[in-house]
Protein backbone atom coordinates (compact mmCIF):
# COMPACT_ATOMS: atom_id res chain seq x y z
CA UNK A 1 0.00 0.00 0.00
CA UNK A 2 1.22 3.51 -0.82
CA UNK A 3 2.62 5.37 2.19
CA UNK A 4 0.78 8.51 3.26
CA UNK A 5 0.33 10.92 6.14
CA UNK A 6 -2.93 12.10 7.69
CA UNK A 7 -2.61 15.49 5.97
CA UNK A 8 -2.01 14.12 2.48
CA UNK A 9 -4.34 15.08 -0.36
CA UNK A 10 -4.45 12.71 -3.31
CA UNK A 11 -5.88 13.08 -6.78
CA UNK A 12 -7.96 9.97 -7.42
CA UNK A 13 -9.79 10.91 -10.60
CA UNK A 14 -9.65 13.33 -13.51
CA UNK A 15 -11.71 14.23 -16.56
CA UNK A 16 -11.21 16.53 -19.52
CA UNK A 17 -13.05 17.93 -22.52
CA UNK A 18 -11.11 19.86 -25.13
CA UNK A 19 -11.21 20.67 -28.81
CA UNK A 20 -8.34 18.23 -29.49
CA UNK A 21 -9.89 15.33 -27.59
CA UNK A 22 -12.91 14.36 -25.49
CA UNK A 23 -11.81 12.28 -22.51
CA UNK A 24 -8.36 11.57 -21.15
CA UNK A 25 -7.36 8.90 -23.65
CA UNK A 26 -8.06 10.99 -26.74
CA UNK A 27 -6.68 14.09 -25.03
CA UNK A 28 -3.38 12.37 -24.16
CA UNK A 29 -2.94 11.08 -27.70
CA UNK A 30 -3.49 14.59 -29.08
CA UNK A 31 -1.06 16.12 -26.59
CA UNK A 32 1.79 13.77 -27.43
CA UNK A 33 1.21 14.17 -31.18
CA UNK A 34 1.03 17.95 -30.85
CA UNK A 35 -2.37 18.10 -32.56
CA UNK A 36 -4.49 21.24 -32.84
CA UNK A 37 -8.06 22.23 -33.72
CA UNK A 38 -7.54 25.94 -34.44
CA UNK A 39 -9.61 27.67 -37.08
CA UNK A 40 -12.08 30.49 -37.62
CA UNK A 41 -14.71 29.96 -34.89
CA UNK A 42 -18.20 29.00 -36.10
CA UNK A 43 -20.51 28.84 -33.08
CA UNK A 44 -23.50 31.20 -33.23
CA UNK A 45 -22.70 34.34 -31.28
CA UNK A 46 -18.92 34.07 -31.75
CA UNK A 47 -18.59 36.34 -34.76
CA UNK A 48 -20.14 39.59 -35.93
CA UNK A 49 -18.34 40.78 -39.04
CA UNK A 50 -15.24 39.26 -37.45
CA UNK A 51 -12.92 36.29 -38.03
CA UNK A 52 -11.73 35.36 -34.55
CA UNK A 53 -9.47 32.31 -34.36
CA UNK A 54 -10.08 29.65 -31.74
CA UNK A 55 -10.58 25.95 -31.06
CA UNK A 56 -14.13 24.65 -30.57
CA UNK A 57 -15.33 21.36 -29.08
CA UNK A 58 -16.85 18.63 -31.20
CA UNK A 59 -20.52 17.95 -30.29
CA UNK A 60 -20.85 16.50 -26.80
CA UNK A 61 -22.95 13.40 -26.07
CA UNK A 62 -24.46 12.69 -22.65
CA UNK A 63 -23.98 8.93 -22.66
CA UNK A 64 -26.28 6.62 -20.75
CA UNK A 65 -25.68 7.92 -17.21
CA UNK A 66 -26.54 11.59 -17.60
CA UNK A 67 -30.21 12.59 -17.25
CA UNK A 68 -31.75 13.53 -20.61
CA UNK A 69 -33.97 16.01 -18.79
CA UNK A 70 -30.97 17.83 -17.29
CA UNK A 71 -29.08 17.64 -20.57
CA UNK A 72 -31.86 19.24 -22.64
CA UNK A 73 -31.91 22.34 -20.47
CA UNK A 74 -28.12 22.63 -20.15
CA UNK A 75 -25.93 25.23 -21.82
CA UNK A 76 -22.67 24.29 -23.57
CA UNK A 77 -20.82 25.16 -20.36
CA UNK A 78 -23.14 22.97 -18.31
CA UNK A 79 -23.00 20.04 -20.73
CA UNK A 80 -19.20 20.16 -20.69
CA UNK A 81 -19.24 20.18 -16.87
CA UNK A 82 -21.53 17.13 -16.74
CA UNK A 83 -19.57 14.91 -19.15
CA UNK A 84 -16.20 15.97 -17.76
CA UNK A 85 -17.25 15.38 -14.16
CA UNK A 86 -18.65 11.97 -15.13
CA UNK A 87 -15.25 10.82 -16.39
CA UNK A 88 -13.52 11.95 -13.20
CA UNK A 89 -16.29 10.52 -11.01
CA UNK A 90 -16.07 7.07 -12.57
CA UNK A 91 -12.29 6.93 -12.39
CA UNK A 92 -12.41 7.81 -8.69
CA UNK A 93 -15.15 5.25 -8.07
CA UNK A 94 -17.42 7.62 -6.16
CA UNK A 95 -20.79 5.91 -6.70
CA UNK A 96 -20.82 4.29 -3.25
CA UNK A 97 -19.44 7.28 -1.35
CA UNK A 98 -21.41 9.04 1.38
CA UNK A 99 -22.85 11.97 -0.66
CA UNK A 100 -22.78 14.24 2.41
CA UNK A 101 -18.97 13.89 2.50
CA UNK A 102 -18.47 15.02 -1.12
CA UNK A 103 -17.99 18.69 -1.96
CA UNK A 104 -18.07 20.49 -5.30
CA UNK A 105 -16.20 23.63 -6.31
CA UNK A 106 -16.66 25.08 -9.79
CA UNK A 107 -13.89 27.42 -10.87
CA UNK A 108 -15.09 30.27 -13.05
CA UNK A 109 -17.39 33.27 -13.06
CA UNK A 110 -19.37 34.88 -15.91
CA UNK A 111 -18.79 31.69 -17.86
CA UNK A 112 -21.92 31.68 -20.07
CA UNK A 113 -21.62 35.01 -21.88
CA UNK A 114 -22.36 33.68 -25.37
CA UNK A 115 -25.41 31.82 -24.09
CA UNK A 116 -26.70 35.03 -22.51
CA UNK A 117 -26.05 37.06 -25.65
CA UNK A 118 -28.10 34.59 -27.68
CA UNK A 119 -30.90 34.75 -25.11
CA UNK A 120 -30.96 38.57 -25.26
CA UNK A 121 -31.19 38.42 -29.05
CA UNK A 122 -34.01 35.86 -28.95
CA UNK A 123 -36.19 37.85 -26.57
CA UNK A 124 -35.20 41.43 -27.40
CA UNK A 125 -38.59 42.18 -29.01
CA UNK A 126 -40.68 40.01 -26.66
CA UNK A 127 -39.25 40.24 -23.14
CA UNK A 128 -42.54 39.15 -21.55
CA UNK A 129 -41.99 35.72 -23.10
CA UNK A 130 -38.55 35.18 -21.58
CA UNK A 131 -38.32 31.61 -20.29
CA UNK A 132 -38.82 31.53 -16.50
CA UNK A 133 -35.90 29.14 -16.19
CA UNK A 134 -33.61 31.95 -17.38
CA UNK A 135 -33.92 33.25 -13.82
CA UNK A 136 -31.86 30.22 -12.80
CA UNK A 137 -29.66 29.46 -15.75
CA UNK A 138 -27.95 32.84 -16.14
CA UNK A 139 -26.29 32.32 -12.75
CA UNK A 140 -23.02 30.42 -12.50
CA UNK A 141 -24.48 28.61 -9.48
CA UNK A 142 -26.85 26.77 -11.85
CA UNK A 143 -23.84 24.64 -12.75
CA UNK A 144 -23.70 23.53 -9.12
CA UNK A 145 -27.41 22.68 -9.21
CA UNK A 146 -27.04 20.55 -12.34
CA UNK A 147 -23.96 18.69 -11.13
CA UNK A 148 -25.21 18.08 -7.60
CA UNK A 149 -28.55 16.79 -8.89
CA UNK A 150 -26.95 14.50 -11.47
CA UNK A 151 -24.37 13.08 -9.06
CA UNK A 152 -26.38 13.43 -5.83
CA UNK A 153 -23.66 15.46 -4.10
CA UNK A 154 -24.83 16.52 -0.66
CA UNK A 155 -21.80 18.24 0.82
CA UNK A 156 -20.98 21.88 0.05
CA UNK A 157 -21.18 23.27 -3.49
CA UNK A 158 -20.17 26.70 -4.74
CA UNK A 159 -18.54 28.59 -7.59
CA UNK A 160 -15.46 30.75 -7.32
CA UNK A 161 -13.89 33.14 -9.78
CA UNK A 162 -10.26 34.01 -10.33
CA UNK A 163 -10.33 34.81 -14.05
CA UNK A 164 -7.87 32.49 -15.84
CA UNK A 165 -6.63 31.17 -12.49
CA UNK A 166 -10.14 29.93 -11.55
CA UNK A 167 -9.70 26.27 -12.45
CA UNK A 168 -6.54 25.93 -10.41
CA UNK A 169 -7.87 28.09 -7.55
CA UNK A 170 -10.77 25.61 -7.27
CA UNK A 171 -8.26 22.78 -6.82
CA UNK A 172 -6.45 24.73 -4.12
CA UNK A 173 -9.72 25.50 -2.32
CA UNK A 174 -10.66 21.82 -2.57
CA UNK A 175 -7.35 20.68 -1.11
CA UNK A 176 -7.73 23.11 1.78
CA UNK A 177 -11.31 21.89 2.41
CA UNK A 178 -10.05 18.32 2.67
CA UNK A 179 -7.20 19.28 4.99
CA UNK A 180 -9.66 21.12 7.26
CA UNK A 181 -11.99 18.11 7.41
CA UNK A 182 -14.95 19.68 5.59
CA UNK A 183 -15.11 16.74 3.20
CA UNK A 184 -13.49 13.41 2.38
CA UNK A 185 -13.72 14.11 -1.36
CA UNK A 186 -13.91 17.36 -3.30
CA UNK A 187 -14.51 17.60 -7.03
CA UNK A 188 -12.91 20.74 -8.51
CA UNK A 189 -14.07 21.77 -11.98
CA UNK A 190 -12.56 24.33 -14.31
CA UNK A 191 -15.67 25.51 -16.15
CA UNK A 192 -15.82 26.10 -19.89
CA UNK A 193 -15.90 29.88 -20.40
CA UNK A 194 -18.22 30.39 -23.36
CA UNK A 195 -17.16 33.67 -25.00
CA UNK A 196 -19.32 35.74 -27.32
CA UNK A 197 -18.02 38.09 -30.00
CA UNK A 198 -18.22 40.94 -27.46
CA UNK A 199 -15.65 39.36 -25.12
CA UNK A 200 -13.50 38.31 -28.07
CA UNK A 201 -13.51 41.86 -29.40
CA UNK A 202 -12.70 43.32 -25.99
CA UNK A 203 -9.80 40.90 -25.46
CA UNK A 204 -8.53 41.70 -28.94
CA UNK A 205 -8.78 45.46 -28.35
CA UNK A 206 -6.90 45.04 -25.06
CA UNK A 207 -4.05 43.44 -27.00
CA UNK A 208 -4.49 40.22 -25.03
CA UNK A 209 -6.06 38.01 -27.69
CA UNK A 210 -4.46 37.30 -31.09
CA UNK A 211 -4.17 36.95 -33.91
CA UNK A 212 -4.25 39.35 -36.83
CA UNK A 213 -0.73 38.26 -37.76
CA UNK A 214 -1.87 34.67 -38.40
CA UNK A 215 -5.40 35.39 -39.66
CA UNK A 216 -4.73 33.28 -42.76
CA UNK A 217 -2.86 30.55 -40.90
CA UNK A 218 -4.78 29.58 -37.73
CA UNK A 219 -2.53 26.57 -37.07
CA UNK A 220 0.38 28.94 -36.43
CA UNK A 221 -1.49 31.40 -34.23
CA UNK A 222 -1.02 29.91 -30.74
CA UNK A 223 2.69 30.21 -29.98
CA UNK A 224 3.55 30.70 -26.30
CA UNK A 225 7.12 31.84 -25.58
CA UNK A 226 7.94 32.26 -29.27
CA UNK A 227 9.28 35.63 -30.42
CA UNK A 228 6.51 35.84 -33.03
CA UNK A 229 3.64 35.47 -30.53
CA UNK A 230 0.92 38.13 -30.56
CA UNK A 231 -1.57 37.11 -27.86
CA UNK A 232 -3.59 34.16 -26.61
CA UNK A 233 -5.83 32.05 -28.81
CA UNK A 234 -9.09 30.91 -27.22
CA UNK A 235 -9.91 27.23 -26.84
CA UNK A 236 -13.06 25.67 -25.43
CA UNK A 237 -12.21 23.29 -22.60
CA UNK A 238 -13.34 21.90 -19.25
CA UNK A 239 -11.40 19.98 -16.61
CA UNK A 240 -12.35 18.05 -13.47
CA UNK A 241 -10.08 16.89 -10.65
CA UNK A 242 -11.17 14.60 -7.79
CA UNK A 243 -9.29 15.40 -4.58
CA UNK A 244 -9.47 12.95 -1.72
CA UNK A 245 -8.19 12.56 1.79
CA UNK A 246 -5.40 9.99 1.44
CA UNK A 247 -6.54 7.92 4.41
CA UNK A 248 -10.05 7.76 3.00
CA UNK A 249 -8.89 6.75 -0.47
CA UNK A 250 -6.59 4.06 0.95
CA UNK A 251 -9.40 2.64 3.08
CA UNK A 252 -11.41 1.87 -0.05
CA UNK A 253 -8.44 0.68 -2.11
CA UNK A 254 -8.37 3.68 -4.43
CA UNK A 255 -4.91 4.33 -5.88
CA UNK A 256 -3.76 7.94 -6.33
CA UNK A 257 -2.88 9.54 -9.65
CA UNK A 258 -0.60 11.92 -7.76
CA UNK A 259 -0.18 13.65 -4.42
CA UNK A 260 -0.98 17.35 -4.19
CA UNK A 261 2.23 18.24 -2.41
CA UNK A 262 1.81 22.01 -2.04
CA UNK A 263 0.21 25.12 -3.39
CA UNK A 264 0.35 28.90 -3.35
CA UNK A 265 -2.06 31.68 -4.19
CA UNK A 266 -1.46 35.43 -4.23
CA UNK A 267 -2.88 38.73 -5.48
CA UNK A 268 -0.98 41.57 -7.13
CA UNK A 269 -3.15 44.36 -5.74
CA UNK A 270 -3.67 45.56 -9.29
CA UNK A 271 -6.90 45.66 -11.32
CA UNK A 272 -5.12 45.97 -14.65
CA UNK A 273 -4.22 42.98 -16.85
CA UNK A 274 -0.47 43.50 -16.70
CA UNK A 275 1.32 40.71 -14.79
CA UNK A 276 3.53 41.07 -11.73
CA UNK A 277 6.76 39.12 -11.32
CA UNK A 278 6.64 39.75 -7.59
CA UNK A 279 3.08 38.40 -7.28
CA UNK A 280 3.77 35.31 -9.37
CA UNK A 281 6.96 34.61 -7.44
CA UNK A 282 5.08 34.76 -4.13
CA UNK A 283 2.67 32.06 -5.31
CA UNK A 284 5.57 29.88 -6.49
CA UNK A 285 7.50 30.34 -3.26
CA UNK A 286 4.41 29.54 -1.18
CA UNK A 287 3.95 26.31 -3.15
CA UNK A 288 7.57 25.32 -2.68
CA UNK A 289 7.50 26.13 1.05
CA UNK A 290 4.24 24.29 1.71
CA UNK A 291 5.43 21.20 -0.17
CA UNK A 292 8.87 21.06 1.38
CA UNK A 293 10.25 20.52 -2.12
CA UNK A 294 13.45 22.30 -3.12
CA UNK A 295 13.26 24.31 -6.33
CA UNK A 296 15.97 22.14 -7.90
CA UNK A 297 13.81 19.05 -7.30
CA UNK A 298 11.08 20.40 -9.62
CA UNK A 299 11.80 18.50 -12.82
CA UNK A 300 8.83 19.61 -14.92
CA UNK A 301 6.82 22.84 -15.15
CA UNK A 302 3.53 23.18 -17.00
CA UNK A 303 3.71 26.86 -17.82
CA UNK A 304 0.79 29.30 -17.85
CA UNK A 305 2.16 30.32 -21.24
CA UNK A 306 -0.62 32.17 -23.03
CA UNK A 307 1.38 33.80 -25.82
CA UNK A 308 1.05 37.22 -24.16
CA UNK A 309 3.72 39.69 -25.24
CA UNK A 310 4.43 40.82 -21.67
CA UNK A 311 3.09 37.85 -19.70
CA UNK A 312 5.40 35.24 -21.21
CA UNK A 313 8.46 37.37 -20.47
CA UNK A 314 7.41 37.92 -16.85
CA UNK A 315 6.72 34.22 -16.33
CA UNK A 316 10.20 33.27 -17.53
CA UNK A 317 11.72 35.90 -15.24
CA UNK A 318 9.94 34.22 -12.32
CA UNK A 319 11.25 30.80 -13.38
CA UNK A 320 14.83 32.08 -13.42
CA UNK A 321 14.53 34.12 -10.22
CA UNK A 322 12.98 31.17 -8.35
CA UNK A 323 15.82 28.79 -9.21
CA UNK A 324 13.68 26.61 -11.46
CA UNK A 325 15.75 26.79 -14.64
CA UNK A 326 16.70 23.09 -14.54
CA UNK A 327 13.11 21.91 -15.03
CA UNK A 328 11.73 20.82 -18.39
CA UNK A 329 9.12 23.29 -19.68
CA UNK A 330 6.18 23.11 -22.06
CA UNK A 331 2.95 25.02 -22.72
CA UNK A 332 -0.30 23.08 -23.11
CA UNK A 333 -2.11 26.15 -24.52
CA UNK A 334 -0.05 25.83 -27.70
CA UNK A 335 -2.15 22.70 -28.37
CA UNK A 336 -5.49 23.37 -26.67
CA UNK A 337 -5.73 27.15 -26.83
CA UNK A 338 -6.51 29.21 -23.74
CA UNK A 339 -9.51 27.85 -21.84
CA UNK A 340 -9.54 30.89 -19.52
CA UNK A 341 -11.46 29.75 -16.39
CA UNK A 342 -10.80 26.09 -17.30
CA UNK A 343 -7.12 26.47 -18.18
CA UNK A 344 -5.41 25.74 -14.86
CA UNK A 345 -7.58 22.69 -14.25
CA UNK A 346 -7.14 21.27 -17.76
CA UNK A 347 -3.39 21.77 -17.48
CA UNK A 348 -3.31 19.83 -14.22
CA UNK A 349 -5.01 16.98 -16.10
CA UNK A 350 -2.37 17.32 -18.83
CA UNK A 351 0.33 17.10 -16.17
CA UNK A 352 -1.21 13.96 -14.64
CA UNK A 353 -1.31 12.31 -18.06
CA UNK A 354 2.32 13.18 -18.71
CA UNK A 355 3.35 11.83 -15.31
CA UNK A 356 1.50 8.59 -16.02
CA UNK A 357 3.07 8.17 -19.46
CA UNK A 358 6.56 9.34 -18.45
CA UNK A 359 6.45 11.59 -21.51
CA UNK A 360 6.23 15.33 -22.03
CA UNK A 361 4.19 16.80 -24.85
CA UNK A 362 5.67 19.25 -27.36
CA UNK A 363 5.04 23.00 -27.44
CA UNK A 364 3.58 23.79 -30.83
CA UNK A 365 5.01 26.67 -32.87
CA UNK A 366 7.94 27.21 -30.49
CA UNK A 367 10.41 27.94 -33.25
CA UNK A 368 12.34 30.88 -31.77
CA UNK A 369 12.08 30.83 -27.95
CA UNK A 370 12.42 34.15 -26.15
CA UNK A 371 14.89 32.37 -23.84
CA UNK A 372 16.62 29.55 -25.69
CA UNK A 373 18.71 28.66 -22.64
CA UNK A 374 15.85 26.95 -20.82
CA UNK A 375 14.89 23.26 -21.17
CA UNK A 376 12.02 23.54 -23.64
CA UNK A 377 10.07 20.58 -24.96
CA UNK A 378 9.52 22.03 -28.40
CA UNK A 379 9.16 20.10 -31.65
CA UNK A 380 8.17 16.64 -30.42
CA UNK A 381 7.32 14.69 -27.29
CA UNK A 382 10.18 13.40 -25.16
CA UNK A 383 10.50 10.69 -22.54
CA UNK A 384 10.78 12.04 -18.99
CA UNK A 385 9.80 10.45 -15.67
CA UNK A 386 8.33 13.33 -13.69
CA UNK A 387 8.82 13.22 -9.92
CA UNK A 388 7.74 16.74 -8.95
CA UNK A 389 5.67 18.89 -11.31
CA UNK A 390 4.78 22.56 -10.92
CA UNK A 391 1.67 24.01 -12.57
CA UNK A 392 1.30 27.78 -12.92
CA UNK A 393 -1.90 29.68 -13.60
CA UNK A 394 -2.54 33.42 -13.60
CA UNK A 395 -5.58 35.60 -14.22
CA UNK A 396 -6.61 39.20 -14.87
CA UNK A 397 -7.04 41.20 -11.71
CA UNK A 398 -3.69 39.99 -10.43
CA UNK A 399 -4.61 36.40 -9.50
CA UNK A 400 -1.65 34.01 -9.23
CA UNK A 401 -1.71 30.30 -8.39
CA UNK A 402 0.85 27.52 -8.25
CA UNK A 403 0.33 23.80 -7.52
CA UNK A 404 2.99 21.11 -7.03
CA UNK A 405 2.15 17.48 -7.84
CA UNK A 406 4.30 14.59 -6.64
CA UNK A 407 4.55 11.13 -8.17
CA UNK A 408 3.50 8.37 -5.79
Q: Return the number of other C-beta atoms located less than 10 Å from residue 235's C-beta.
A: 29
Q: Name the pLDDT band for 212 (thresholds 50, 70, 90).
A: confident
Query: Is pLDDT of 1 > 60?
Result: no
The whole domain housing 306 covers: 261-406
| Residues sharing a CB contact under 8 Å with residue 16, sequence separation 6 or more, in sequence order | 23, 24, 27, 84, 87, 237, 238, 239, 240, 346, 349, 350
pTM over 0.85: yes
- Does 5 score more than 90 pLDDT? no
Q: Give the domain-ending residue among 251, 282, 316.
A: 251
* Boundary-marking domain end, from 251, 286, 310: 251
Q: Residue 211 — very low, low, confident or very high, per pLDDT cuts 50/70/90?
A: confident
Longest dimension (CA), the chain: 64
Q: Is residue 154 part of a domain?
A: yes
- Whether residues 68 and 109 fall in one domain: yes
Q: Is residue 256 part of a domain?
A: no
The answer on 280 and 245 residing in a single domain is: no
On whether both 62 and 121 belong to a single domain, the answer is yes
Residue 246 and residue 281 in one domain: no
* Averaged pLDDT, 256-263: 98
| Residue 195 burial by Cβ neighbours in a 10 Å radius (0-12, 13-18, 19+) | buried
Please indicate, yes or no, whether residues 296 and 176 belong to a single structural domain of this protein: no
Mean pLDDT of all residues in 127-136 = 94
Q: pLDDT at position 7, please? A: 86
Predicted local distance difference test score (pLDDT) of residue 3? 76
The answer as to whether 130 is a domain residue is yes
Listed residue (356, 340, 321, 349) closest to 394, CA to CA: 340
Please identify, among 223, 251, 279, the residue that sits at the C-terminal boundary of a domain: 251
What is the DSSP code (8-state) at residue 115? H
Please tell me whether residues 267 and 207 are part of one structural domain: no
| pLDDT per residue as tens digits for the range 72-83 | 999 999 999 999
- What's the distance, CA 43 to chain centroid? 21
Domain CATH code at residue 114? 3.40.47.10
Assess whether 223 and 184 both reside in one domain: yes
Residue 298 shares a structural domain with residue 247: no
Q: Which pairing describes strands 388-395 and 300-302: parallel, antiparallel, or unpaired?
A: parallel
- Number of structural domains the chain divides into: 2
Classified as helix, coil or strand, 328 is strand
Q: Is the pLDDT of residue 273 over 90?
A: no
- Is the domain of 339 the same as that of 384? yes
Mean pLDDT on 252-260: 97
249 to 15, 151, 349, 404: CA distances (angstroms): 18, 19, 19, 20
pLDDT at residue 213 tops 80: yes
Is pLDDT of 98 > 60?
Answer: yes
Contacts of 369 (CB under 8 A, 6+ apart): 225, 226, 227, 376, 378
Arithmetic mean of pLDDT over the chain? 97
Is 126 part of any domain?
yes
On the question of a cis peptide bond just before residue 211, with omega within 30 degrees of 0, the verdict is yes
In a domain, 359, yes or no: yes
> Please, is 39 exposed, middle or buried when counting C-beta atoms within 10 Å of its C-beta (0-12, 13-18, 19+)?
middle
**Neighbour count for residue 407 (Cβ, 10 Å):** 17
pLDDT digits (tens, 9 = 90+) for 20-41: 999 999 999 999 999 999 999 9
Does residue 4 lie in a domain region? no
- Are residues 311 and 354 located together in one domain of the fold? yes
Q: In this structure, is residue 2 part of a structural domain? A: no
What helix, strand, coil percent values describe the chain, rounded to 5? 35, 20, 40
pLDDT at 33: 98
pLDDT tens-digit readout, 34-61: 999 999 999 999 999 999 999 999 999 9
111, part of any domain: yes
More confident residue, 98 or 274: 98
pLDDT in tens, 357-376: 999 999 999 999 999 999 99
Domain identity same for 239 and 378: no
**pLDDT confidence tier of residue 6, bands split at 50, 70 and 90:** confident
Q: Are residues 72 and 135 in the same domain?
A: yes
The model's confidence at residue 272, banded by pLDDT at 50, 70 and 90, is confident
Amino acid sequence: MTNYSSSDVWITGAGVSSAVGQGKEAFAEALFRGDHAFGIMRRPGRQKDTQFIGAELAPLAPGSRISRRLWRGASLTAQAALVTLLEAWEEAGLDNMDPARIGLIIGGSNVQQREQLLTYASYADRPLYTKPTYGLTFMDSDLCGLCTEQFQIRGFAYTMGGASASGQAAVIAGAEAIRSGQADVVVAIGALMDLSYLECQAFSSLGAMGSERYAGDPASASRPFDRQRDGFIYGEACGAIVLERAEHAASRGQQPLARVAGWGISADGNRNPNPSAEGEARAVNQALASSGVNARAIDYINMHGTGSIIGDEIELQVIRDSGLENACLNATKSITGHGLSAAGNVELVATLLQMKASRLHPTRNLQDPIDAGLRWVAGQAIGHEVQHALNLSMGFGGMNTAVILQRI
